[in-house]
Amino acid sequence: MTEHTSPVTSQAPADWGKGHGRLAGKTALVTGGTRGLGRTIAEWLAREGANIIVSGRETADVEASVTAIQELGVRAWGIPADLARVADAHALALQALGLVETLDIVVNNAGMSISQSFWEASDAEYEYQSNVNLRAPFIICQHLARDWIARGVRGRIVNVSTIGVFKGHTDKMIYNMAKAGVQVMTRNMSYELGPYGITVNCVAPGAVPDRPGSDWEVTPEDRERVKGLIPLGRFGRAEDIATAVVFFCLPETEWTSGQTLLTDGAHISGLRE
């Protein structure tokens, strides 16, 4: 694991707004927090004052993320983990709980997919996608639930799903199946953990190619075409998803649980094709 403790100066944007610091004193674990949506989510939680633990597969990426998040004026730690491995998922949860006095928030963001027709997928490819997208979040939540229940922590869990649960992706069946499981897991966990003051919610992103470190290239023609598909007239941005995650972590939303927030620019709300 990696920790940076030297003094830093906050680099939060000048226009961040009056809400800065609403999560001060909290600590959040963001899986897959080294790039993409996870990196942006981690940064937005940090700008609200939360200390951050990030996980990722590559040690160098984890260290770089820790350094960048620290520059936002909070403490940051990193734990390398390959969540396709069950042992790594258990180890990540236990190490994160052992790093800080109280881990208040977990964002199960890490995810991956292999583009292929379902009849071409091998057993190993099925297991890999299922482990990263569904089994790892389940394992992490198990460990946190035990710790929080034992110590009376009113924690927050935010899972990340996909628009593909509502509207099929070509060659993404296994990924979408796993993410559908994440939404079912969210509802069931919210019911079982509600009596302990723990909330569990989910964010389902729509089409978001504009994210840090993404290799999803969108041509000007595609951006123009999407105006006819998404009523709000643009692809999503990582910040759109981070905003939804932060919402579920705020003190003001302590009575919101078991929900999946589809953040897609109204993509599937009509009949546009």
User: From CA 268, how far away is CA 50, in angstroms rounded?
Assistant: 33
Picking from 177, 202, 198, the residue whose alpha carbon sits closest to that of residue 259 is: 202
Picking from 239, 161, 131, 252, the residue whose alpha carbon sits closest to that of residue 199 is: 252
H or E segment to which residue 200 belongs: strand 199-205
- Please confirm, yes or no, whether 179 is among the known catalytic residues: yes
Give the pair of three-digit tokens for residue 106: 């977990």
- Please confirm, yes or no, whether 196 is among the known catalytic residues: no
The active-site residue out of 26, 128, 172, 175 is: 175
The active-site residue out of 172, 179, 191, 196 is: 179
User: From CA 89, how far away is CA 65, in angstroms rounded?
Assistant: 20
User: From CA 266, how far away is CA 273, in angstroms rounded?
Assistant: 13
Angle at 76 between CA 70 and CA 82, to 5 degrees: 125
User: From CA 161, how far away is CA 256, in angstroms rounded?
Assistant: 18
Question: How many other CB atoms sit within 10 Å of the CB of residue 58?
Answer: 12
Cβ-Cβ contacts under 8 Å for 224 (sequence gap 6 or more): none
The residues assigned a catalytic role are: 175, 179
